[in-house]
């Protein structure tokens, strides 16, 4: 582990909590206050998913570029982006929560980076965060596509039988051949 990764691992708890709070601050203040306090996964699923995603991302970043598996962290990101994709956020806001982690690193550890002259490592770390942010945007787009697919399927479920019953559409008969 390099200096930046070590800092991330050593301060895991505080970074995760700070990040969780910053993400919750993207919600209205009354809600942010309530959701910061509650850890019930069924009455506060958004808070729970934010926490789990923050942990997964920090662990992934702390474990070093090549060693960590990307799939599980993308699955976690998906759980959170899926929520934010239907919460009245602009796409940038829905997927942009990754950048708040950069803010935490810079604000919290600038002195440490400076003392260790670890700027190249910080750049590398931030690049990885950028990569995850782009991946989140992909996930966001997939969720929105899913939303529209659901609308279409809902319509189909409610109408297709009517069309068949009215014999406005007819399928291919059993054993029928085009020849």
Partner 1 sequence: MSKMAPPEEVMKVDYSTPAESWMDVKPEFKLGNYSYPGKPDVLKYLGLPNPREWNPVEEDWKLPPDWREIVRDGFRELLKKYRSLKVFMDVCVRCGACADKCHFYIGSGDPKNMPVLRAELLRSIYRGEFTVAAKILGKLSGSRKLEEDVIKEWFMYFYQCTQCRRCSLYCPYGIDTAEITFLARDLMNRIGVNINWILEPVANCNRTGNHLGIQPHAFKDMMDFLVDDIETITGRRVEPTFHRKGAEILFITPSGDIFAEPGIYTFMGYLLLFDYLDLDVTWSTYASEGGNFGSFTNDKWMKKLNAKMYHEAKRLGVKYIIGGECGHMWRVLNQFMDTMNGPADFLEVPKSPITGTVFNNAKSTKMIHLVEFTADLIKNGKLKLDKSRNAGITATWHDSCNTSRGMGFFDEPRYVLENVVEKFVDMPAQTIREQTFCCGGGAGLNNGEFTEMRLRGGLPRGNALRYVQEKFGVNTMSCICAIDRATLPGLADYWAPGVKVTGLHELVGNALVFEGEEERTMNLRQEDLPGVEGSEEDE
Binding footprint of partner 1 on the chain (CB under 8 A): 22, 25-32, 34-35, 38, 40-46, 82-83, 86-88, 93, 96-97, 99-100, 102-103, 106, 143, 146-147, 149-151, 153-155, 157-158, 160-162, 164-165
- Who contacts 49 (Cβ-Cβ below 8 Å, separation ≥6)? 79, 80, 83
In whole angstroms, the minimum distance from the beta carbon of 116 to partner 1 comes to 18
Distances (CA, A) of 170 to 62, 167, 178: 58, 6, 15
Query: 27 or 116: whose CB is closer to partner 1?
Result: 27
Angle (deg, nearest 10), helices 29-37 and 45-62: 70
Q: Which residue's CB is nearer to partner 1, number 66 or number 90?
A: 90
Q: How far is the CB of 67 from partner 1 (least distance, A)?
A: 26
Cα(175)–Cα(177) distance, integer angstroms:
6
CB 108 within 8 A of CB 15: yes
**Rounded to the nearest whole angstrom, what is the least distance from the CB of residue 135 to partner 1 in the complex?**
19
Shortest distance (Å) from residue 112 CB to partner 1? 15
Q: Which is nearer to partner 1, 70 or 110 (CB)?
A: 110
Residue 70 or 146 having the CB closest to partner 1: 146
Beta strands in 84-134 (DSSP E): none
User: Residue 14 or residue 146: which is nearer to partner 1 going by CB?
Assistant: 146
Q: Phi, psi at residue 38, to the nearest 5°?
A: -90, 135
Residue 144: half-sphere exposure toward Cβ, Cα within 13 Å: 15
Q: In the bound complex, what is the minimum distance in angstroms from residue 31's beta carbon to partner 1?
A: 4
Q: What separation in angstroms does the CA of 77 have from each of 8, 18, 59? A: 19, 18, 13
């Amino acid at each position: 582990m390099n200096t930046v990764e070590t800092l991330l691992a050593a301060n895991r708890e505080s970074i995760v909590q700070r990040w969780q709070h910053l993400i919750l601050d993207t919600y209205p203040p009354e809600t942010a206050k309530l959701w910061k306090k509650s850890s019930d996964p069924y009455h506060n699923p958004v808070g729970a998913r934010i926490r789990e995603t923050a942990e997964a991302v920090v662990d992934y970043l702390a474990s070093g570029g090549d060693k960590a598996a990307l799939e599980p962290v993308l699955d976690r990101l998906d759980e959170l982006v899926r929520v934010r994709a239907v919460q009245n956020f602009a796409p940038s806001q829905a997927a942009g929560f990754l950048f708040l982690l950069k803010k935490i690193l810079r604000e919290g550890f600038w002195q440490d980076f400076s003392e260790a002259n670890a700027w190249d490592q910080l750049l590398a770390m931030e690049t990885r965060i950028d990569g995850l942010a782009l991946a989140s945007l992909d996930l966001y787009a997939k969720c929105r596509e899913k939303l529209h697919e659901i609308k279409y399927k809902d319509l189909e479920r409610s109408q297709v039988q009517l069309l068949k019953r009215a014999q406005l559409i007819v399928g291919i008969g059993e054993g029928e051949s085009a020849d």
